[in-house]
Amino acid sequence: MQRKPDWLRKRITAGPERAELEGILSELSLNTVCCEAQCPNCVECFAAKTATFMILGTNCTRNCSFCNVTCGAPEAIDPAEPERVAEAVRRLGLKYVVVTSVTRDDLPDGGAMHFADTVRAIRERSPMTAVEVLIPDFQGEKDALALVTEAWPTVISHNMETVEALYDEVRPQADYRRSLALLGRIKGLNPTIRSKSGFMLGLGETKEEVIELMGDLREAGCELLTIGQYLAPSKGHHPVREYVHPDIFDEYKNIADAKGFSFVASAPFVRSSYHAGEALGL
């Protein structure tokens, strides 16, 4: 196993803000992808009283080799969950919130209506809060995506995660072209919504493949982009093939800027929801 370089060592601190946020999450019985996916920025974000809410349970119907979220029998939908997420957003006074979910291939709409209900609930209790939804692919169902766009989130994000050549190995139940098609439909359904995606480096991709992925995203109309370092959650997950130097992340940011993305965050610790509000100046 490769030794983690100095630029991937992060000092962990905690304060009363984290305890306050964790108390709210516990009281309202809410999940965050921050904890479920072992995000390296978890402590920092909790201290800043921000979190990415994960709806529709904690068991995913897919088993991507890079992800730490549990693959298992899906849980029953909780109809009160959207209101509890909205209450947490109100209590925390968030200017920007990200809502994501496990993939729910067992549901006819993939959970799209639950996303929509959550967006509407947040809008009602915190009308000034910008809402980003980080959605699964809904198995390519156009009507499911339409349910989400009709709720008017500020940003719809769907992560490509990696280059096309690695999909069979890293995301065997996903489809590269299906994900691109989903991103390409967002503006046609609601042109006011910003489209966003993200991917990881260090899985075994080549520079040419990364540049091709960025080009495909721009052709699909994607506006906002995040690029971060893949960190394997355990020895049983897809191995880290390379710890990419920060200078390479800067190079990819310059390439992405030149391709016309309106916002690009590219650095080892970047994750799709990390400081997400910065894309809109928040």
Q: Is 96 within the bounds of a domain?
A: yes
At 227, is the pLDDT very low, low, confident or very high (cuts 50, 70, 90)? very high
Is the pLDDT confidence value at 49 over 90?
Answer: no
Is the pLDDT confidence value at 36 over 60?
Answer: no
Is the pLDDT confidence value at 10 over 80?
Answer: no
Whole-model pTM: value is 0.92
Is the pLDDT confidence value at 129 over 50?
Answer: yes
More confident residue, 233 or 167: 167
Is the pLDDT confidence value at 43 over 80?
Answer: no
Structural domain boundaries, residue 158: 6-194
At 280, is the pLDDT very low, low, confident or very high (cuts 50, 70, 90)? confident
> What's the confidence (pLDDT) of residue 38?
52
Overall number of domains in the chain: 1
> What's the confidence (pLDDT) of residue 37?
47
- Inter-CA distances, 193 with 19, 87, 278, Å: 34, 24, 16
CATH of residue 51's domain is 3.20.20.70
Q: Is 280 within the bounds of a domain?
A: no
What span, in angstroms and rounded, lies between the C-alpha atoms of 233 and 5?
Answer: 16
Is the pLDDT confidence value at 144 over 60?
Answer: yes
What contacts 24+ positions apart, CB below 8 Å, involve 48-51? 48/17, 49/17, 49/20, 49/21, 49/92, 49/93, 49/94, 50/92, 50/94, 50/96, 50/97, 51/21, 51/25
More confident residue, 18 or 55: 55
Q: Is 215 within the bounds of a domain?
A: no
Is the pLDDT confidence value at 34 over 80?
Answer: no
At 247, is the pLDDT very low, low, confident or very high (cuts 50, 70, 90)? very high
Is the pLDDT confidence value at 216 over 50?
Answer: yes
Q: Is 279 within the bounds of a domain?
A: no
Q: Is 267 within the bounds of a domain?
A: no
Q: Is 172 within the bounds of a domain?
A: yes
DSSP state of 161: B
Q: Is 205 within the bounds of a domain?
A: no
CB proximity list for 143: less than 8 A, separation 6 or greater: 109
Rg (the chain; Cα; Å): 18
- For 169-211, how does the pLDDT look when each residue is reduced to its tens digit (9 = 90+)? 999 889 999 999 999 999 999 999 999 999 999 999 999 999 9
More confident residue, 62 or 45: 62
The mean pLDDT of 107-120, rounded to a whole number, is: 97
C-alpha 102: how far from chain center: 11
At 46, is the pLDDT very low, low, confident or very high (cuts 50, 70, 90)? low
Ordered DSSP codes for 198-255:
EEEESSS--HHHHHHHHHHHHHTT--EEEEEE---SSTTSPPP-----HHHHHHHHHH
The mean pLDDT of 250-268, rounded to a whole number, is: 97
The mean pLDDT of 149-154, rounded to a whole number, is: 98
Q: Is 101 within the bounds of a domain?
A: yes
